[in-house]
Amino acid sequence: MLDSCKLKSAFNLPFIYNKKINTTGTSNADVPLADPGMYQLDITLRRGQSLAARDRGGTSDPYVKFKIGRKEVFRSKIIHKNLNPVWEEKACILIDHLREPLYIKVFDYDFGLQDDFMGSAFLDLTQLELNRPTDVTLTLKDPHYPDHDLGIILLSVLLTAKKGESRDVTMLMRKSWKRSSKFQTQSLRLSDQHRKSHLWRGIVSITLIEGRALKAMDSNGLSDPYVKFRLGHQKYKSKIMPKTLNPQWREQFDFHLYEERGGIIDITAWDKDAGKRDDFIGRCQVDLSSLSREQTHKLELQLEEGEGHLVLLVTLTASPTVSISDLSANSLEDQKEREEILKRYSPLRIFHNLKDVGFLQVKVIRAESLMAADVTGKSDPFCVVELNNDRLLTHTVYKNLNPEWNKVFTFNIKDIHSVLEVTVYDEDRDRSADFLGKVAIPLLSIQNGEQKAYVLKNKQLTGPTKGVIYLEIDVIFNAVKASLRTLIPKEQKYIEEENRLSKQLLLRNFIRTKRCVMVLVNAAYYVNSCFDWDSPPRSLAAFVVVEDMLEDEEEEDDKDDKDSEKKGFINKIYAIQEVCVSVQNILDEVASFGERIKNTFNWTVPFLSWLAIVALCVFTIILYFIPLRYIVLVWGINKFTKKLRSPYAIDNNELLDFLSRVPSDVQVVQYQELKPDPSHSPYKRKKNNLG
């Protein structure tokens, strides 16, 4: 039954076409209403003109939402400080019927506060012609102030009919990160005509080297700059460099390249401000279609809408190692392919492509006894397989709590200490996908060729949820390459969630830190002896150092008190919250560091413990033949000449990189495999089927 209130409001709000609709042609009013998913609406959000100013500086930071009914189907990127923004973003929307109009809303982004409304408009889908691109101009209005001129939004739309299309398709998931850091799942459906299809065509490797002469945004004439990168749905954020206009980052990021012709990487530079909105420093772009493949390009990019330059290294390489196929197209069951894979990662090919450590094949077979997420008592489950930043999906099995996917996923392994994550969702056309369960499996704990039933866990991986999933996993890797990769920084993950203040998490991190501190009791006794004056010279030195530190802190507190008088109440609240989050994160880092050292010695990960023993034995043998002073001399020369030999090398500490691969106690619990119910056994299931 059509909601008459919604239909009435749809025609009351204005929308204007800059291209007339041909009423004598094939419009959607003449097309009979069809089954769900019959129509596909392709929209290109072009630009806005003369939008309303909502900020004090006479500008706005606009972004656009598309809604159909109560469902948000698209959200654009934010264009900062611009009343005539250019988006050029595309959205593909599957529509059940044309009775619901497309609702367009424009907002001004405000950090930490409620976003300001900038106007809205409706697009009546029944007035569009099928299979004909149409340029549309929408006049923005505020229902409370209908006489106000809020500008216009320009779109290009194409409506096509989808008749008899199979629902058994492979999907590629795209994550949209909202400012609330709560991701929603959107799906781009791909045809599954080929039994083996590679889902991305290459890797874009970016090394952020430095910034030069950036704009000063703080009162002290400096900035605390960081950089954001975006390629499609993929996002990265660099670390913050405090109090500098010439930051040295030396950070490396990898993007997936889905389009043959390349794409455009959006880069924005920001100044970090505690307790208030970060300041915009400038933006630039990299057009990947203009860069040659298999070659490193040094780029010095001028920041637009600001000052200064960014220096980058960009490399485009092919990536033919990620695929989805059916069980019948299993790579490892083909003897010839298996021999080629084993040869690729044999000990004789140690120095051939050090980044290619190994090969992972995951068979997602089926799940049983899943949670019912729909009101009908069923679910529409699909499965997401993730390895670091590589994400692949199965098709959706509709209205089933015991789905069978029978899909094979292959990945190349860049770090043998990575964790395979398999998550089951319920597809919901009216809103974001519902979480059903998840498992996390370290690659080093996998037993090759064994089909196992994994008990699904909750989002935090701390306890079980309903259902099990059957997987068969094979890992082939080169141990020497894996050992060498252990001593370089880990791959960063996409920006998904920012840490939030949690009372339980803060308390847990405090307890973990306390446990680590108790290990250092002997050191505490040593410090206490300074105050007991067991050794007068040592106690006198400690007294002088502590006195100097207290004086510095008192001076800084006086400055902070003067500055705080200028802050508003809201800014104080956000500043306190940010300090608490920082304390929470610092406690986590300190506790994790101590736990990783402990777990190295208690053989939590045998591969890493053996690697540490081998490294110590090699170092001992070297010390036996070579005096320590020569080793220190060589080490010092290497450190001091590293920047001369490789000016753009990424700084790292091999010991910290090694410890980053050792799981903390929290991660040990998350990776712990729960025992399934005895009834969930692949062998018992086969026996029952035969019976």
Alpha-carbon dihedral sign for residues 681, 682, 685, 686: negative
For helices 654-661 and 569-601, what crossing angle results, to 10°? Answer: 90
b vs e for 183-207, b when ≥16 Cβ sit within 10 Å of the residue's Cβ?
Answer: bebbbebbebeeeeeebbbbbbbbb
Q: What is the mean pLDDT of residues 523-539?
A: 66
Instruction: Specify the pLDDT at position 111.
Output: 62
Instruction: Specify the pLDDT at position 544.
Output: 58
Query: Is the distance from CB of 50 to CB of 152 less than 8 angstroms?
Result: yes
b vs e for 306-332, b when ≥16 Cβ sit within 10 Å of the residue's Cβ?
Answer: bebbbbbebbbeebeebbbbeeeebbb
For 617-629, how does the pLDDT look when each residue is reduced to its tens digit (9 = 90+)? Answer: 999 999 999 999 9
- For 231, other C-beta atoms within 10 Å of its C-beta total 22
Q: What is the phi-psi region of residue 119: left when phi exceeds 0, alpha when psi lies from -120 to 50, beta otherwise?
A: left
Calpha distance 587→454 (Å, rounded): 32
Q: What is the mean pLDDT of residues 579-604?
A: 87
For 301-313, how does the pLDDT look when each residue is reduced to its tens digit (9 = 90+)? Answer: 999 888 899 999 8
For 141-159, how does the pLDDT look when each residue is reduced to its tens digit (9 = 90+)? Answer: 988 888 888 999 999 999 8
By 3-state DSSP, what share of the chain in percent is helix, strand and coil, each rounded to 5?
30, 35, 40
Instruction: Specify the pLDDT at position 644.
Output: 81
Answer whether residue 539 shows pLDDT above 90. Answer: no
Percent residues over pLDDT 90 in the chain: 28
Query: Is the distance from CB of 389 to CB of 158 less than 8 angstroms?
Result: no
180: confidence class by pLDDT, cuts 50, 70, 90: very low
Query: If we measure between CA atoms, which residue out of 310, 319, 256 comes closest to residue 288?
Result: 256
Look up residue 313 and give its amino acid: L
Q: Which of 496-510, 541-555, 644-658 has the lowest mean pLDDT?
A: 541-555
For 17-69, how does the pLDDT look when each residue is reduced to its tens digit (9 = 90+)? Answer: 444 333 333 344 444 444 444 688 889 999 899 999 888 778 888 999 888 87
Mean pLDDT for the chain overall: 77
For 323-341, how does the pLDDT look when each residue is reduced to its tens digit (9 = 90+)? Answer: 677 776 676 777 888 888 8
Q: Which residue has the higher pLDDT, 671 or 529?
A: 671
Calpha distance 647→163 (Å, rounded): 58
For 488-513, how does the pLDDT look when each residue is reduced to its tens digit (9 = 90+)? Answer: 888 877 655 556 667 777 788 788 88
Answer whether residue 317 shows pLDDT above 80. Answer: no
Calpha distance 103→121 (Å, rounded): 6
668: confidence class by pLDDT, cuts 50, 70, 90: very high
